[in-house]
Structure 1
Amino acid sequence: MGIFKGSCTFSRYYSPRSGVDPFEIDIEGALKRNAAPDIETAGESATVGWAAPSHLLDTDFTLEKVLHGDWLFLVMRTDRRTVPESLVNAYLQIELDAAAHAGKPLSRGARADLKDAIRADLL
């Protein structure tokens, strides 16, 4: 859902540069350079970028999509891939139970490595 169909939080900015025609600036190029990256490239660290106001996944900018009257509307999107800790712990417990049943309990370091491997597999 875009910002025109629901509630949103907004910030308004004023540019102190006077005498600049906004149509002389390469707005589309600047937006494309700072567009939100594809969600598939997101890792555990956050990625931030602009999206069109009509849809959160729309990063194909045109002036018709972002200019409404004298106003430039954009959405700042922050993406981060995470796995719930409870899910990681559930898979870890399965592996720990299997190791204990085999009579080979894991050391603290091996448990930490296993937990990291489980998290990487789930991402």
Structure 2
Amino acid sequence: MGILSSSASITRYRIVQDIPDDFLTEVPERLIKHKFRDIDHTADERSFGWTSFDDMLDMNWNSSTPHKGHYLAFALRLDTRRIPPAVLKKHLRLALDQARQELEAKGQKFISRDQKKEIKENVQIKLFAKTLPIPAVFDVVWDTSNNFIYLASTSPKIRELFLDLFNATFELHLEQRTAYFCALTGMDQGAKKQLDELEPVIYI
């Protein structure tokens, strides 16, 4: 669910380094440089990149700017092609049967491991070309007043993809705001040492 939904799963981050004063003016250009690329007319398995917060089809921010007051709002779009296992199994079987018939006609009795691998890859490419990618969009909100980032997902795979793309786009590193890092805020070294030495207690 998106950030503007009645309920949403959110992962919070904080930018760990200082940002130059003029950096925010570069954000639209950086987003477009790493924007989402459509794969509808390809056989690619997946594609990901930034798109508009207001319209997932607007990869150039023609209808609205990512600047929303002191916030920046954009979205991570991920399109993925998925082949149902039963479909892949069927077409792989058909391809292997055909390959065996062709090899037997040439006097070869068995299909080698490399040949099976190549046949499977070719079957997957053909099926990908016939399968429409499934789009998914994950909202991102950047509060520039405190450099907190909010991602509308808690999925480990999406978080990893987001962190890699964010770093490649903005050359900034993020720290996830877990309970531990929230507790560290405002602590001196003595209190931090005590926190690090805490051990969990099992009450059951």
Question: Where do residues 90-109 of structure 1 align in structure 2 (5 Å cutoff)?
Answer: 90-96=90-96, 104=104, 107-109=111-113
| Partner secondary structure for residue 118 of structure 2 | helix
Q: How much does 1:42 deviate? A: 7.1
Residue in 1 aligned with 2:60?
A: 60
Q: Which residue of 2 aligns with 1:79?
A: 79
Deviation at 1:57, TM superposition (A): 3.1
For structure 2, the residue ranges without an aligned partner over 5 or more in a row are 129-204
In the comparison of the two structures, how many residue pairs are matched?
120
Assess, with a 3 A threshold, how the Cα gap between structure 1 residues 74 and 8 changes in structure 2: closer, same or farther: farther
Aligned with residue 18 of structure 2, among 3, 16, 20:
16
- The CA distance in 2 between the partners of 1:8 and 1:42, in whole Å, is 32
CA distance in 2, matches of 1:106, 1:9: 53
Q: 2: CA distance between counterparts of 1:121 and 1:98?
A: 16
**Aligned partner of residue 58 in structure 2, secondary structure:** coil
Counterpart of 2:116, as a letter, is: R
Q: Is the 8 A contact 1:4 1:53 kept in 2?
A: no
What's the CA shift for 1:61?
1.5
- Distance in 2, matches of 1:8 and 1:58, equals 24
Deviation at 1:34, TM superposition (A): 1.3
The alignment's TM-score, normalised by the length of structure 2, stands at 0.44
Normalising by the residue count of structure 1, what TM-score does the alignment of the two structures yield? 0.65
Alpha-carbon distance in 2 for matches of 1:121, 1:42? 8
* Equivalent pair of 1:91/1:118 in contact (CA under 8 Å): yes
Q: How many Å apart are 1:17 and its aligned residue?
A: 2.7
The DSSP-based 3-state class of the residue aligned with 2:48 is strand
Q: Percent identity among equivalent residues?
A: 22
Q: Which has the larger radius of gyration?
A: 2
Equivalent in the alignment of 2:116: 111
- Aligned residues: CA RMSD: 3.6
Aligned-pair distance for 1:28? 2.0
Unaligned stretches of 5+ residues in structure 1? none
Relative distance call for 1:94 and 1:64 in structure 2 (3 A) is closer
- Which structure has more relative contact order (CA 8 Å, sep 6+)? It is 2
Normalized per residue, which structure has more strand? 2
